[in-house]
Amino acid sequence: MKHHLWCLRGVSGVMAAVLLFFLAHPGYCGQNDPGRAKLLEKIGQMFIVGFRGTEISEDSYIVKVLNEVQPGGVILFDYDVPSKSFPRNIVNPDQTRKLISDLQEYSSHPLFIAVDVEGGRVNRLKERYGFSSFPGAEELGKNDNLDETKQTAKQIGKNLAWLGFNVNFAPVVDVNVNPDNPVIGSLGRSFSFDPEKVFLHASAFIEGLHSCNIISTLKHFPGHGSSFHDSHLGMVDVTKSYQEKELVPYKKLIAGGFSDMVMTAHIVDRYIDPDFPATLSPLFISELLRGEIGFKGVVVSDDMHMGAIVQNYGFAEAIVRAVNAGVDLLIISNNGESYEEEAIYEAQRAIVEAVEDGVISPTRIDESYERIRELKARFFQPDFFVQECLHANTNQLIQFISAAVKEIEILGEQAFSQFREKNGRWFYDDTYIFVWGIDGMRYVYPPDVTGEGSNMCHLEDVDGRAIGKMFVEVATSPAGQGWVHYRWPKPGEDEPIWKATFIKRAVSSPSGTNYLVGSGYYVDS
């Protein structure tokens, strides 16, 4: 059972005690003050949270955070930095897929599920865990084949989509000004020292991710490629090494319509802002990135637990400064020097108090909330992976059946057989396409297949309505297209075998496709 609580939990600190008393009072849980509840919802959406755990349950810390803070998203890691140990969240593909599915189920809002998969040395989904490996930016830049870069990103996107990720913190668009840079050049994370080449390969990389509906992220603004130090470890000053050409990829990509995410760097350039690093500076974000360059998308901070921030600023101070500077999404990874479960609550309290005190204007919160909502609305469409990444429409789906069954990277005959043997009776014919998905097998059911012999048409949902009939009704709606995404009960769940536990979502498809998608388990009764 989910509990959607608005109150702040586990609070401490004498200076905030009076404010927290009122925030924790039942009247501020949303029932008696809808305005406060909405403010807390908006602030919650401004966080991407890190946590420990390879599986979750109702009692898990992250589920508590999902209920009480309602963050905009989560970020997954393979390695836990504070304990210097594996695993943190990622063990293998099946485990990761289930973890992501469970996170979405426990959240009352669709979540950004973020990860760093740049290729090369920066890849949280490593080959030794059973994932695929991909060339890094430096290798792709040296090969200088834009189609190869696009196809690499598309394969990354397919893998991410299968698992349920929807945000990739990539590509790196740092220009390789200093090849000995300990965090960019020496790790092979830059496409080139030539900003034009960086722009071209970043464009191809983004196109590949977008073909699988994965949100991309330009990083690290305004450019980390000339630095001599690592901002994970402390403050980095690029005042003497920064070159104007480091802005070129941002300017050209944004002028070309890029509007996903831009990640700020915790670097100082005193020619732009003599006092604060980019993440905390309105001169960098509001004036340069948004004003001069014209970026209209979501600005996401680099991790607020990195050394450059925590060693030089109070955590609450940095959070407030970042918001006022123009950051929309704040990464609270809890994967820095220490692990502090109260950090997300401290960040929430800091913003609430700043709004209460007039330090942050409600308009500033609204701006971020609307950008986040717009980005989610643009990318969060049910099972877009099947629709766009596989380029399927109704006619193509029918033609795709035999290819899908044969194509190892999409289905895999061995994987199919093992899943069938483990979970029950599976079959395919002219009415089905099976695709390996987030929570087991995925069915694509063309809506022109109806009537007798349709093995899903006699299923009922929890209210006794025929699912097959609803498929047809939605697909033949006045809009001319539609989706139904449903979930069957897993083996061992209390619901009867031939009942769907719920209809998950039904929305119009904007692209003129006309088919229906379901996911779950099919077992013998």
Rounded-to-integer distance, Cα 124 and Cα 117, Å: 6
Which of left, alpha, beta for 507 (phi over 0: left; psi -120 to 50: alpha)?
beta
Distance from C-alpha of 361 to C-alpha of 167, rounded to nearest angstrom: 28
The closest of 493, 492, 489, 490 to 501, measured between CA atoms, is 489
Give strand pairing partners of 57: none
Helix (H) or strand (E) holding 509: none
* Beta carbons within 10 angstroms of residue 495's beta carbon: 13
Catalytic residue among 302, 303, 383, 439: 302
The reply to whether 232 belongs to the active site is yes
Q: Are 235 and 191 in contact (CB under 8 A)?
A: no
H/E run at residue 267: strand 267-268
User: Which pair of tokens denotes residue 23?
Assistant: 């925030």
User: From the CB of residue 366, how many other CB atoms can be counted at a distance below 10 Å?
Assistant: 12
Q: Can you read off the two tokens belonging to residue 438?
A: 């987030």
305 is catalytic: no
Q: Is residue 517 within a helix (H) or strand (E), and if so which, with residue range? A: strand 516-520
Contact 116, 137 (CB under 8 A): no
User: Strands of 217-221's sheet, edge to edge?
Assistant: 217-221, 261-264, 298-300
Q: What letter represents residue 111's amino acid?
A: L
* Beta bridge partners of residue 113, listed in sequence order: 74
Close Cβ partners of 202 (under 8 Å, ≥ 6 residues apart): 171, 173, 191, 218, 249, 253
Residues in the chain: 525
Are 313 and 325 in contact by the 8 Å Cβ rule? The answer is no
Q: With CA atoms as reference, report the closest residue to 150 among 199, 204, 192.
A: 204
**Contact residues for 413 (Cβ-Cβ < 8 A; gap 6+):** 405
Structure tokens at 390: 């596989």
Catalytic residue among 224, 232, 266, 305: 232
Which residue from 62, 67, 79 is spatially nearest to 113, judged by alpha carbons?
62
Rounded-to-integer distance, Cα 434 and Cα 407, Å: 11
Catalytic residues: 232, 302
